Amino acid sequence: MITPNRAIKNPIWGLIYRIGAVAGLVAAIGIRRNMSAEFTAFNGFGVFAIPETLPVQAAEWLTLLQNNPFVGLVLLDVLNLVEYALVGLMFAAVFGSLQHSLHKASLLAGTCAAAGIITAFVSNQAFAMLSLSRSGMFVIGDTRSASLATAETLLARQSIGAAIALFLVLLAGLIFSVLMLRSGIFSKTAAVIGILANAINLLYFPALLFTPAWIAVPPVIAAPLRITWYVLVAIKLFSLAKTDFS
Domain annotation covers residue 126: yes
Let me know: does 146 contact 154? Beta carbons within 8 Å: no
Instruction: Tell me, yes or no, whether 120 lies in a domain.
Output: yes
At 3 the pLDDT is: 44
- Quick check: is 3 in a domain? no
Provide the whole-model pTM.
Answer: 0.88
- Based on the structure, what is the number of domains in the chain? 1
- Residue 32 inside a domain? The answer is yes
In a domain, 5, yes or no: no
Residue 4 lies in a domain: no
- pLDDT recorded at residue 5: 46
Residue range of the domain that includes 104: 11-245
Tell me the pLDDT of the chain (246 aa) as tens digits: 344 445 556 678 889 999 999 999 999 988 777 777 777 777 777 777 888 788 989 999 999 999 899 999 999 999 999 999 999 999 999 999 998 777 789 999 999 999 999 999 999 999 999 999 888 666 556 677 888 889 999 999 999 999 999 999 999 999 999 999 998 899 999 999 999 999 999 999 999 999 999 998 999 999 999 999 999 999 999 999 987 555
- Answer yes or no: is 221 within a domain: yes
* pLDDT on residue 214: 92
